[in-house]
Amino acid sequence: MSPLKIHYPNGQPYHYNKENYNSQSKEQSSNYSNRGMSLEKEINLTNKQYLDDNMAVIHKKPTPIQVVKVDYPKREAAKITEAYYRRSSTTDYNGVYKGYYLDFEAKETKNKTSFPLSNFHGHQINHMKKSVEHGGICFTILRFVTLDEIYLLSSEFLFKWWDQQYKEKGRKSIPLSAIKKENFLIEYGFNPRIPYLKIVDQFIESRK
């Protein structure tokens, strides 16, 4: 499958163009089990549930937008009339859980056998490496859209695969078999829908 067909979550709108936009809508309506919901929306609902249950405070960061022109009409809200999506220098989600700093990215792919590393950008990986270095817990929530499977990838696993791509004969994508073997499948829940904190608990346990 061509990398052009990768389905980016809404958190990465610098890839927005009409083609991606349409393929996304099509994807969403054809996928039954997640009821047309984007991964971003499901994670937002999950985070809201965690907040309501007083378990954690995790939010999606707003999409970075470069504002070029603003109108200031009298007695009305400022209206932005020219702006562009910018690439984020960090990840999409962060917050606090059990005293730990959590920081993660959500990605989707239509691929069925591997996850292309081109879904990440170097600055996102660097941000996660730095955050881990300072004691944060970082990971990736990854959905294989066509398979309808969601995995939680540890940062160690991701960094290992990211770094190998620059070596001789390095692979440009992570095989699904390796993802299955070394990571966590997240089973859909009712509320929260994507109960990723259960897996974070295992990371915290392994630190003790």
Two tokens at 69? Answer: 């022109």
Measured over the CA atoms of residue 189, residue 31, residue 60 and residue 120, the dihedral's sign is positive
Q: In the bound complex, what is the minimum distance in angstroms from residue 147's beta carbon to its own copies? A: 29
| 46 marked as binding residue | no
Q: Which is nearer to its own copies, 131 or 183 (CB)?
A: 131
Residue among 94, 96, 95, 114 nearest 106 (CA): 94
d(CA 163, CA 180): 19
121 neighbors 40 (Cβ within 8 angstroms): no
Please report whether residue 195 would count as binding its own copies according to CB under 8 A: no
The residues, any chain, with a CB within 8 Å of residue 1's CB and separated by 6 or more, are 110, 111, 112
Binding mask 74-113 for its own copies (x = CB under 8 A): ---xxxxxxxxx--xxx---xxxxxxxx-x----------
Binding mask 133-172 for its own copies (x = CB under 8 A): xxxx------------------------------------
Identified binder of its own copies from the candidate list 37, 45, 51, 117, rule CB under 8 A: 51
Two tokens at 157? Answer: 């696993």
* In 11-166, alpha helices (H): 18-30, 39-52, 122-133, 155-164
| 105 marked as binding residue | yes
Binding mask 7-46 for its own copies (x = CB under 8 A): ------xx-xxx--x-------------------------
d(CA 62, CA 46): 17
- Binding site for Mg(2+), by residue number, is 90, 92, 105, 124
* Residue ranges in contact with its own copies by CB under 8 A: 13-14, 16-18, 21, 51, 54, 56-57, 59, 61-65, 67, 70, 72, 77-85, 88-90, 94-101, 103, 127, 130-131, 133-136
